[in-house]
Amino acid sequence: MSEGAGTIPAWATWAEPHELGPYTVGIEEEVMLLDEVSWALAHRIDSVLPRLLGHDGSFTAETHGSALEIQTGVHPTIGDSIEELGALRRELAETLQPLSMRAASAGTHPFAVWQEIVVSAGERYQFVYGSMRELARREPTFGLHVHVAVPDAEDAVRVANRLRTHIPLLLALSVNSPFWQGRDTGLASARTPLFQAFPRVGIPRDFQDYADYVESVDVLIRSGAVPEPTFLWWDVRPQPRFGTIEVRIMDAQTKLAETAAIAALVQCIVRAEVEEAAHLERWMPQEVLSENRFLAARDGMDAELIEPELERRVPARELLADLVAVCRPHAQDLGCEAELERVPELGARTGAQRQIDLARSLESLPRLVGMLASDFLARG
């Protein structure tokens, strides 16, 4: 590296292990702000954020003026994380009420169009607009990001490498964005190809070690292409500042119980990959990973994903059952057995399928958005 042998740039210094121990969890979810009459996106983040002061980063703006990110603190269990997330959702809902606004969570807003989109005024988001130009004004997408603490940087890179093979299945489980610009896209996650329009997204390459990862990112920073490492929006990435692996591929989930199930699965996978690496390790060509990611975005849990060693495609639900079985002992140690046991239920009927069924019965996309808003505080 340019800083000299044996040194790394300041941004790459791996955070000290958390006092709560390894595998702690933090959850970030991007939610949509809505007009409660029309159910259209409400581009009013500048009116909302000042009313949410005093939370030390629990609520932050996003690129689009109709989106807001909710961030939990660090917790030892999924249950604790979801308890805080539920409290933050309730506070947001109460804050929006006198503004004649509501919040909802899904991968896309079903009938928003790009001509109505407003980019947030913050310096970061104006940089995004200056860099991406009109790409930044495409319809907003809403993701779920799960952080799991890994104390050692080298372990973190090894786990991130192996998580790449799990990315398509995590996407298939989380699909929750079948509608775009007022129509059924035929995709279970329209959010995935929409977000793919940005650079520095998708499944990253395999890194040899932490030094390889750091140099690959730092050359972009040194050259001025990006100001700092969070402008690499990969599906999975090490987060040195927090000492975590961040999994970012998932669509935002409508209900808290769905978020809890997915977060539990991610936490268990990370622990399993650290503790049982030799048992779980699988290598897949980048071409297979990319194709599986597309199949997952298109078909959700109805997808059949490529298994190179078998030289055939395997139903996603079969792969999910095998993965949950591997994760159960880890869930016992992590205290998230109940949340993990919700994973097969979500796999049987994803958020995308529920949206499609509701849209058919309601015969109205605005009414569908209203139902998404009604579920924002639902526990089950």
Instruction: Please name which of 320, 314, 203, 305 lies closest in space to residue 261, comparing C-alpha atoms.
Output: 320
Does position 94 have pLDDT exceeding 60, yes or no? yes
Does position 218 have pLDDT exceeding 80, yes or no? yes
pLDDT in tens, 325-336: 999 999 999 999
Do 260 and 342 meet the contact criterion of CB atoms below 8 Å apart?
yes
CB atoms within 10 A of CB 173: 29
Q: Kindly tell me the sign of the dihedral angle through the C-alpha atoms of 158, 164, 169, 171.
A: positive
Where exactly are the structural domains of the chain? 10-377
Radius of gyration of the chain (CA): 20
pLDDT in tens, 274-289: 998 755 567 789 999 9
CB atoms within 10 A of CB 275: 14
What's the pTM? 0.92
- Return the DSSP state at 96: H
pLDDT in tens, 247-258: 999 999 999 999
Instruction: Please name which of 162, 331, 143, 150 lies closest in space to residue 245, comparing C-alpha atoms.
Output: 150
When the candidates are 3.40.1710.10, 3.30.590.20, 3.40.50.720, 1.20.1110.10, the CATH number that belongs to 10-377 is 3.30.590.20
Does position 221 have pLDDT exceeding 90, yes or no? yes
Nearest 5°: phi and psi at 24? Answer: -65, 160
The Cα–Cα gap between 75 and 211 comes to 29
Please return the burial class of 366, using the count of CB atoms within 10 Å of its CB with bins 0-12, 13-18 and 19+. middle
The pLDDT assigned to 144 comes to 98
Q: In Å, how far are 55, 202, 233, 372 from 351, measured between CA atoms?
A: 30, 22, 23, 10
